[in-house]
Structure 1
């Protein structure tokens, strides 16, 4: 009896699978979890599968940071623009209503790693520019929009880094106040 050859895991897993696992590990255990051996073990494959897709750990970490930037800024902006709601309200609901474990983990990583720090700076700039654009569309003068965007973003960062859950009703009231403050 001839057995069919079972596909090897490097053929079954994509680079995207590794990146997704890396994002989960990063959010749950921090940047020190971004290593081939523990990730391979968690995925039930050999370390060779990792190196099939990434030249080294640095290339993998760069891919994880790139994906974080895509999901933590570009995807959110695209979703807000497509929602049909008032964009600033939609952005606030989305940003303050999300689980922010990954945000905290990447910002912690940035304290120890120049590449992560550069990714955080880039995403901060992108987010600030977008918020400023939304405020300008509401009729605020450029200098006012810029100042209020910064204040609003600092508010988000404080919320994200605090990790303290806020009951939905309370959060809704707080977001209403934020909107009033930045739009007045």
Structure 2
């Protein structure tokens, strides 16, 4: 494999390195930052390295969206399931306690790009199904579980898209209240 790093840099850059840099740029500067030249400059490599790993910008964008779906849904679900804590409570703490710059950036991107919009729809469906499953396991009837999952997810989206973070102590109280409301008969 040909090395594309600038002089003095010895290790090879992988597709994963590019995707990680893309996610950072997306969270910080939005989807317009997902271009080969500015990413190469940020990493300190030539643009040729980008095209070694990705056929074009569309392929790179698809890889970034795929990784976002993995970390924003599948990884969180796996972590919640492995935590040993009550899953719904663990999911609330994890989801509402996270930095959500990337969530906001992808949702903004989806307003302008069909592939990003499809990724957002897919992750929304996956998350809703998982929340519904957790509520079902708590004994709620299917219609109630579905309705409360939707309400809980809308609450998360409102939180994710809102302004400054809520202080930790206040957030914990809000999450406790939310859990009580969702679980109430």
Give the TM bin, normalised by the shorter chain. over 0.9
Q: For 1:57 and 1:8, how far apart are their aligned partners in 2? A: 18
Q: Offset at 1:70?
A: 0.0
Alignment-derived partner of residue 28 in structure 1:
28
Specify every segment of 5 or more residues in structure 1 that has no aligned partner in the other structure, as ranges: 1-5
Q: Offset at 1:8?
A: 4.1
**For residues 7 and 33 of structure 1, do their structure 2 counterparts lie closer, same or farther at Cα, with a shift above 3 Å needed?**
closer
Alignment-derived partner of residue 58 in structure 2:
58
Alignment-derived partner of residue 13 in structure 2:
13
Q: For 1:108 and 1:69, how far apart are their aligned partners in 2? A: 15
Alignment-derived partner of residue 3 in structure 1:
none
Q: Is the 8 Å Cα contact of residues 13 and 49 (structure 2) preserved in structure 1?
A: yes
Q: For 1:101 and 1:163, how far apart are their aligned partners in 2? A: 11
Q: For 1:126 and 1:111, how far apart are their aligned partners in 2? A: 20
Q: For 2:55 and 2:178, how far apart are their aligned partners in 1? A: 45
Q: Offset at 1:9?
A: 2.7
TM-score if structure 2 supplies the norm length? 0.95
Alignment-derived partner of residue 108 in structure 2:
108
TM-score if structure 1 supplies the norm length? 0.95
- The 5-angstrom pairing of residues 21-170 of structure 1 reads 21-170=21-170
Specify every segment of 5 or more residues in structure 2 that has no aligned partner in the other structure, as ranges: none
Other structure's SS at 1:177 match: helix
